[in-house]
Amino acid sequence: MEADWMAKKTKATSVTFSPRQVAEPLRVNSEKVRNWIRNGELIAINVGDRQRPRWRIPKESLDDFLKRRESSPPSTPRRRHSTTVRKYV
């Protein structure tokens, strides 16, 4: 029974993507994704050997990466109050 629970939990939390799978919807080259991994911008797991790394990007890591790169709408500048007093004559 415990093994079934572990299998379900592992299966549910182990959604990963290859650099190519990440690159396609973002319309970038998979080499760009590997550069993000090398630079530490995108967290990935190396499942390959030392000579040739094979990267897997966890879904949570990809979500965090996309959230950080999301552009926010420009803030509206606050209206500055005049320091002079108008005189009405």
> Is 89 within a domain?
no
Q: Across the strands, what pairs with 6? A: none
- Span 48-85, pLDDT tens digits: 887 889 999 999 999 999 999 888 777 777 777 777 87
Neighbours of 35 (CB within 10 A): 14
Q: Is the pTM of this model over 0.75?
A: no
The CATH number linked to 22 is: 1.10.1660
- In-domain check, residue 34: yes
Contacts of 43 (CB under 8 A, 6+ apart): 37, 57, 58, 61, 64, 65
Looking at the chain, the whole-number percentage of residues with pLDDT higher than 90 is 54
Q: How many domains does one find in the chain?
A: 1
Does some domain include residue 83? no
Per the structure, the complete domain to which residue 29 belongs is given by: 13-68
Q: How confident is the model at residue 5 (pLDDT cuts 50, 70, 90)?
A: very low
| 27 in any annotated domain | yes
Q: Is 75 part of any domain? A: no
Is 3 inside a domain boundary?
no
pLDDT at 79: 77
